[in-house]
Amino acid sequence: MEFDLSGKTVVVTGGTRGIGRAIAESFADAGADVVPTSRSHDDVQDAADAMREYGVESLAVPTDVTDEAAVQRLFSDTADELGSVDVVVNNAGVNPDGALGPPEDVATDDFDFVTDVNLRGAFLCAKHAAEHLQDAGGSLVNVASVGGLVGLPRQHPYVGSKHGLVGLTKSMALDWAPDVRVNALAPGYVSTDLTEDLEENERLRESIERRTPLGRFAEPAEIGGPAVFLASDAAAYVTGEVLTVDGGWTAR
C-alpha cells in the first residue's frame, strides 16, 4: 500500500516518449492521475489518452519547459482541473549532436539550448509548482543521469546541466523540508530516441554493455518503478537523495 498513489496528481515533463512516458505509465498504474506533457500537441493528446486507459484522469497541456508562461499555465491548469499537484517529475531533457564533442567544438548556442531545457526548464517547473507541492505536501523527482555524478567525455553541456540538476535537488530539498521531498534519479544507459545513435553504433553499444555489470541497456519501464518509489510513502524519509538506476555502471 505504501506504493499506492491513488488520489494523487502527477505531472511528468517530457512524458510523451521514452523514459518520461514509461514513468507516466508507472504512476498511472499506481493509481495516480497523470499529466504527461511535452512540446508536441499530438503526442501530448496521445499520451493523455494512454493514461486514461489505466482508469485514471489525465489532461493534455502541451508545454515547452523553457517557456515560463506555459510552465505556469501547466501547473495552474492541472490544479484547477484535477484538484492538486502532488508530484512533479522533471524529466524533459535533450542532448543534441551539436552539443557533443570537445569543449572547443561545442557551439555556444548548443550549450545554451541544453542548459535551457535540462537545467533552467527543471528550475522553472520547480519554481511554478512550488506553491502547489507545498499545499499538497508533495514530492519532486528530477531525472538527472549518471552524467550528473561523473564526467563523460564529449558531453560537456549535458554533464554540466545534469550536475546542476543534482545540485538543485539537494538545495531544494533543504529549502522545502519538511513539507516537500526532493530527490533525483540517475539512470545509466536506457533504450530511447536519445540513445538510438549509440545503440546503432555496434562498437559503442558493445563497449557500454561490457562496462555495465548487468550487461545491457535498460528498458524505459525499468526507470518507472524507482520514480514511483521516490514519490511514494515508501520513501517518506528520503530527501535530497540521488537514486542511481544504471545496471551497476557507476559501481566500477
What is the rounded CA–CA span in Å between residue 242 and residue 141? 10
Nearest-approach distance from CB 145 to ligand NAP, in angstroms: 4
Instruction: Print the binding letters for residues 128-157 with ligand NAP: x by CB under 6 A, - otherwise.
Output: ---------------x-x------------
What is the rounded CA–CA span in Å between residue 70 and residue 196? 29
Nearest residue (CB) to ligand NAP, 38 versus 139: 38
Long-range contacts of 208-214 (CB under 8 A, 24+ apart): 211/249, 211/252, 212/188, 212/246, 212/247, 212/248, 212/249, 213/247, 213/248, 213/249, 213/251, 213/252, 214/247, 214/248
Region from 33-41, 81-89, 172-180, 234-242 binding ligand NAP, contact rule CB under 6 A: 33-41
**Region 52-81 residues binding ligand NAP, contact defined as CB under 6 A:** 63-66
Nearest-approach distance from CB 60 to ligand NAP, in angstroms: 13
Region from 71-79, 87-95, 175-183, 224-232 binding ligand NAP, contact rule CB under 6 A: 87-95
Q: How many residues bind ligand NAP (CB under 6 A)?
A: 30
Q: Which residue in 232, 178, 246 sits closest to 6, CA to CA?
A: 232
Q: Which of 20, 164, 224, 226 binds ligand NAP (CB under 6 A)?
A: 20
Q: Which residue in 161, 4, 7 sits closest to 84, CA to CA?
A: 7
By CB under 6 A, tell whether 244 contacts ligand NAP. Answer: no
By CB under 6 A, tell whether 193 contacts ligand NAP. Answer: yes
Q: Write the DSSP symbol of residue 119.
A: I
What is the rounded CA–CA span in Å between residue 133 and residue 200? 40
Q: Which of 99, 100, 126, 194 binds ligand NAP (CB under 6 A)?
A: 194
Nearest-approach distance from CB 147 to ligand NAP, in angstroms: 7
What is the rounded CA–CA span in Å between residue 78 and residue 11? 8
What is the rounded CA–CA span in Å between residue 138 and residue 86? 5
- Which positions are annotated as active-site residues? 158
Helices 221-231 and 18-29 cross at an angle (nearest 10°) of 50
Nearest-approach distance from CB 12 to ligand NAP, in angstroms: 9
> Would you state the torsion angle of the CA atoms of residues 125, 144, 237, 130, taken in this order, to the nearest 10 degrees?
-10
Nearest residue (CB) to ligand NAP, 121 versus 138: 121
Helices 156-176 and 108-115 cross at an angle (nearest 10°) of 30
By CB under 6 A, tell whether 94 contacts ligand NAP. Answer: yes
Nearest residue (CB) to ligand NAP, 195 versus 212: 195
Residues that bind ligand NAP (CB under 6 A): 13-14, 16-20, 38-40, 43, 63-66, 91-94, 117, 121, 143, 145, 187, 189-190, 192-195
